[in-house]
Amino acid sequence: MRPDDGPGMDLLLRNEAMTTRVSISTRYLHDVYQALLAQHPTIYGVVARAVGSESLVGSESLAGMATAFIDEVVAGGATLPRAHLENLKVHHDVRRRGLGGRLAAWRIEQARRRFGGDGVFTAGVEASNSASLATAARWATQVLGPVRVVIGRPRSKPPSAAGVVVRPLADGDLDAVVDGANAFYADHLLYPPLTPERLSDKLAVSVFGWPIRAYRVAVTPSRSIVAGAEITERYRLMVDRIERIPGPLAAVGRLTGMLPADGILRSIEVSGLWHAPDRSAAARQLWDAIRFEWRDRATNVAAQADPRGPLMPILGTGSILAPRIQIMVPVQSPAPLEEGRPVFLWR
């Protein structure tokens, strides 16, 4: 994958919607290569060009693409490099010829060269995406999950006070946030340990000249930080267009206001939400405050949480009906992971 592949990847992502019950295509608002780099500075990828296909002739046409990013996660009691596999797309004219498997294998081979030793491979696959799950079965040694995707509307009113103030992260907060987050997720599989440097890097200015992530903390009157969360302003990089949705889900979406009238989802993603012991109410206020703060910029607020962990009761979205989206996590690890423990997943 090279910087000049952006237009071709854009065409592929627009035209090849997800093969799930709810078909969604991604529309990037900036050059795709630069947008992917802004999301994950350690990203790498591969593209395929067709030869002799009339429908794929042109300087920007791609037959397929696949990307991954590198970080570190806790697996099997050790901190190991991890390649998280994303964006596997194959043009419909050249499917069922083994291209998807070749692209997936290339990513894994490239990651092994970068690891220089043992490493972990993961992906996040929507539970009803049978094609992607079949492709993942070629390299995964186990499948964890499911992890729930919680999708809610922004709040029109601020949350009621609950003994804490929600504010942006300050320079002096880094150590408390890192310690709190690492303690909260100590029992989760595939958690990427946080450090002050990694958190600062996440919140730094992107290749576009502005940050795509923010951080909010809940602080007590005694100035103790008792909860925190990272917010990715995904809508600044891309939006999701709903191409196909089952009739009952469409009716529910219109009734509840979950689906915008234009069919375009402009989302923020909340990840790494944590709270101090016995401070779940502060985490709930933080979640509601984020939904209120971004009410005029986003149509949807999303978060991912394993139902076996402590977050699902906190991530309430009110008395609305929403599609139940579940993510399976194919994994290849040097040692089998304990399947009964909650899984940490973020994008």
Query: Stretch 89-111: mean pLDDT, rounded?
Result: 89
Asked, for residue 222, whether it belongs to a domain, the answer is yes
Give the mean pLDDT of 141-151.
Answer: 94
Contacts of 223 (CB under 8 A, 6+ apart): none
Q: Examine the domain organization and report whether 216 and 235 are in the same domain.
A: yes
Task: Let me know: does 286 contact 276? Beta carbons within 8 Å.
Answer: no
* Burial of 172 from C-beta contacts in 10 A (0-12 / 13-18 / 19+): exposed
* 61 and 105 co-located in one domain: yes
pLDDT at 18 over 60: no
pTM of the predicted model over 0.75: yes
Length of the chain counted residue by residue: 347
Average pLDDT, the chain: 88
Q: What is the largest CA-CA distance in the chain?
A: 69
The residue out of 130, 146, 162 marking a domain boundary is 146
Q: What is the DSSP letter of 307?
A: T
pLDDT of res. 57: 53
Query: Can you give the pLDDT at residue 211?
Result: 96
**Same domain as 289, residue 178:** yes
Question: How does residue 94 score in pLDDT terms, banded at 50, 70 and 90?
Answer: confident
Coil/strand/helix, residue 314: coil
Q: Is the pLDDT of residue 249 over 90?
A: no
Do 80 and 203 lie in a common domain?
no
Residue type, 195: T
3-state secondary structure of 202: helix
Tens-digit pLDDT profile for residues 34-84: 999 999 999 999 999 877 655 555 556 899 999 999 999 999 889 999 999
Who has greater pLDDT, 277 or 128?
Answer: 277
Q: What values do phi and psi take at 56, rounded to 5?
A: -120, 15
**Whether 208 and 176 share a structural domain:** yes
Asked if the structure places residue 50 within a domain, the reply is yes
How large is the average pLDDT for residues 155-182?
94
Please give the helix or strand (H or E) that residue 179 lies within, else none: helix 174-184
The yes-or-no verdict on residue 251 having pLDDT over 70 is no
Of 80-94, 141-155, 246-260, the range with the lowest mean pLDDT is 246-260
One-character DSSP codes across 46-110? EEE--SS-GGG-STT--SEEEEEEEEEEEETTEEEEEEEEEEEEE-GGGTTSSHHHHHHHHHHHH
Q: Which of 267, 303, 280, 301 is nearest to 148 (CA)?
A: 303
Q: Write down the pLDDT at residue 243.
A: 64
pLDDT at 319 over 80: no
The residue range of the domain holding 40 is 3-146
What pLDDT is stored for residue 277 in this prediction? Answer: 97
Same domain, 195 and 320: yes
- What is the tally of structural domains in the chain? 2
Residue pair 343/144 in contact (Cβ under 8 Å)? The answer is: yes
pLDDT band at 128 (very low <50, low <70, confident <90, very high): confident
**CATH number for 40:** 3.40.630.30
